[in-house]
Amino acid sequence: MKNVSILNLKGGVAKTITAINMAHILAIIHGKRVLLIDNDKQGNSSKFFNLHNYEMPGIAELLTVRNTKIREVIQHTQYANLDLISANMNLVNANLQIIMDVSRQQQTILKKALQQIESEYDYCIIDNAPDINISVINSLVAANEVIVPIKIDQFSFDGLKELTEQFEAIKELNPTLNFKGCLVTQFTKNDVNVQGEDHLNNQANYPIFATHIRRTEKVDESTFSRQPIIEYSQRCGAAKDYMNFVKEYLGE
Ligand SMILES: Nc1ncnc2c1ncn2[C@@H]1O[C@H](COP(=O)(O)OP(=O)(O)O)[C@@H](O)[C@H]1O
Ligand SMILES: [Mg+2]
């Protein structure tokens, strides 16, 4: 199983949209067995798959309740080969609880849990909160790869620098972590986006995926109908781009 953490300290850059659609395309088009982990208290990925609730245990319980088996917190989505660990507001308390419990290793809980299902999935995609809290650190310690969705503006370029610093710090805990690439999302063909993308392509600090994701109103609509983009509108720009992105990711 390859663990991929979708990360950016900023909100609104399409972390959740990328995690959902990457997971769905890997499962449906490429026949991979995929586990999607919602690691954000907002629970957007969980809501998207109609699995947001307070009855089923999710990521918060996995991280805090000792002896929770990871299989107990995995739920099936309506799509074959695509399972989910859900999140809700309990993750706020969970983050405090983990830090206060000094009797166990705080950063490796998720990594150890994922080792139990290593052979049951091909990919684990983790949708993170726009934050560096202990549950996000758990996700980075468990990850083999990081993908950073970015929306082009000055703030995201500033954020990228901070992210690289955080990323270097995490490498002390997880030396083999691979910065797989930045993914430009919500791309519109205007001067800012074209020049911003050029700027990214001409620097050597971060790898950039050649595929960018076009801004398409269909993406917003798809969140209302709670359908992954290739189910909602297979022919729209973002659907084609996400399919190409996953191909590029897989090296096909
Ligand atoms: N390619 C796109 N085209 C248009 N809107 C998009 C696109 N990608 C994301 N969005 C919209 O941008 C907003 C933020 O996306 P989201 O995935 O929730 O970001 P994050 O998880 O980083 O906070 C959402 O309203 C989403 O519908
Ligand atoms: Mg999100």
Question: Which atom, in ligand 1's list, is nearest to the CA of 216?
Answer: 3
CA of 43 relative to ligand 2 center, distance in Å: 8
Distance CA 208, CA 198 (A): 11
CATH of the domain at 171: 3.40.50.300
For residue 40, report the distance from its CA to the centre of ligand 2, in Å: 7
Asked if residues 27 and 33 have their Cβ atoms less than 8 Å apart, the reply is yes
Angstrom distances, CA of residue 53 to CA of 34, 85, 149, 232 = 21, 11, 27, 24
> Number of folded domains in the chain?
1
Neighbours of ion ligand 2 (CB under 5 A): 15-16, 44
205: containing domain: 2-250
| Tens-level pLDDT at each residue, the chain (252 residues) | 999 999 999 999 999 999 999 999 999 999 999 999 999 999 999 999 999 999 999 999 999 999 999 999 999 999 999 999 999 999 999 999 999 998 889 999 999 999 999 999 999 999 999 999 999 999 999 999 999 999 998 777 788 888 888 888 889 999 999 999 999 999 999 999 999 999 899 988 889 999 999 999 999 999 999 999 999 999 999 999 999 999 999 998
Measured between alpha carbons, how far is 183 from 199 in angstroms, rounded to an integer?
A: 14
Distance 103 CA to ligand 2 centre (A): 31
Of 67, 81, 146, 170, nearest to 112 by C-alpha is 67
**Ligand located closest to 9 CA:** 1
Which of 213, 225, 153 lies closest to 183, judged by CA?
213
Gap between the terminal Cα atoms of the chain:
19
Judged by its nearest atom, the ligand closest to the C-alpha of residue 184 is 1
Total-model pTM: 0.97
